[in-house]
Amino acid sequence: MRLDVVTIFPEYLEPLNVSLVGKARTRGLLDVGVHDLRDWTHDRHNTVDDTPYGGGPGMVMKTEPWGEALDEVLADGYEAGAGAPALVVPTPSGRPFTQELAVELSSRPWLVFTPARYEGIDRRVIDEYATRMPVYEVSIGDYVLAGGEAAVLVITEAVARLLPGVLGNAESHRDDSFAPGAMANLLEGPVHTKPPVWRGRGIPEVLLSGHHGKIARWRRDEALRRTTAHRPDLIERTAPEAFDKKDREMLSILGWAPDPEAGRHGRFWRRVEDVEE
């Protein structure tokens, strides 16, 4: 896979040399290019922004540097034989970044990222390239960062670990929290390793039992416990068929029950008497 990032802070992308993404690069699984947007400015101050039409606070990134930069980066990639490019535009007004989108992006041969600073990029730039290639406007969460570079790091890491050969074990994605196509999306429960006692704290007995069935059940119960506590929306969204008898017992202990109005196919909701006012 080829990745290009055009940014006014190339040094912000240094982490792409480290750890999983860095290793994927040295192993030739990822070809990463980081480009300084200011290389495509022509004035003494290397200006990349200007005041917004219509007034208002902040500055807007100008069309010309972005247009020249993207034309050149795209031309270079085509020359190098990269496949069909897609533009990834990190913005708090984009669609939410999810594991499903990470999987979709990981199947593309070439991603070009345009992290913005200030109030964003002149809309005409996005509209122009959208006529030539798929454009993904992506938000990594409901908060506003000072710029899109941190979002590029987040998206890149989530995508890179899905590439064939990057993680040791291809099976490992299947059990990821949020793996698309999973019957129920549950958060993963707690994990433990040696020593068996640390500061007086032991390991849950069942994990030492060697009984695979019981261990799997315990893990599932812990996943249900965590998901109900941290992400009740995931439980509410799950088709009830995804919960087996033991799941239902655990959900009941945790204060959840099928929606009584919906009959046998009702999704699970926190029982009314347990919901704090």
Which residues sit at the interface with ligand ADE, rule CB under 6 A? 90-92, 139-141, 143-145, 148, 151
Which one is catalytic: 161, 217, 226, 248? 161
CA dihedral defined by 235, 241, 242, 246, rounded to 10 degrees?
A: 90
Q: How far is the CB of 142 from ligand ADE (least distance, A)?
A: 7
Answer yes or no: are the C-beta atoms of 249 and 224 closer than 8 Å.
no
143 labeled part of a ligand binding site: yes
CB 157 to ligand ADE: min, Å: 14
Task: Point out which residues pair with 86 in neighbouring strands.
Answer: 111
Q: Is 176 a catalytic residue?
A: yes
Task: Name the one residue in this structure whose structure tokens are 């990057």.
Answer: 166
Measured CA to CA, the distance from residue 26 to residue 24 in angstroms comes to 6
Residue facing ligand ADE at closest CB distance: 90
Regarding beta strands 49-50 and 60-61, do their DSSP bridges make them parallel or antiparallel, or are they unpaired? antiparallel
92 is catalytic: yes
Q: Which listed residue (119, 175, 233, 259) is catalytic?
A: 119
Q: Looking at beta carbons only, is 144 or 272 nearer to ligand ADE? A: 144
Nearest distance from C-beta of residue 111 to ligand ADE, angstroms: 15
Give the whole-angstrom CA distance, residue 57 versus residue 39: 26
Catalytic residue from among 52, 92, 180, 232: 92
What's the half-sphere exposure (Cβ side, CA atoms, 13 Å) at 249?
A: 7
Is 72 a catalytic site residue?
no
Check whether 144 is labelled as a binding-site residue. yes
264 carries an active-site annotation: no
Residues annotated within the binding site are 140-145
Residues acting as catalytic residues? 92, 119, 161, 176
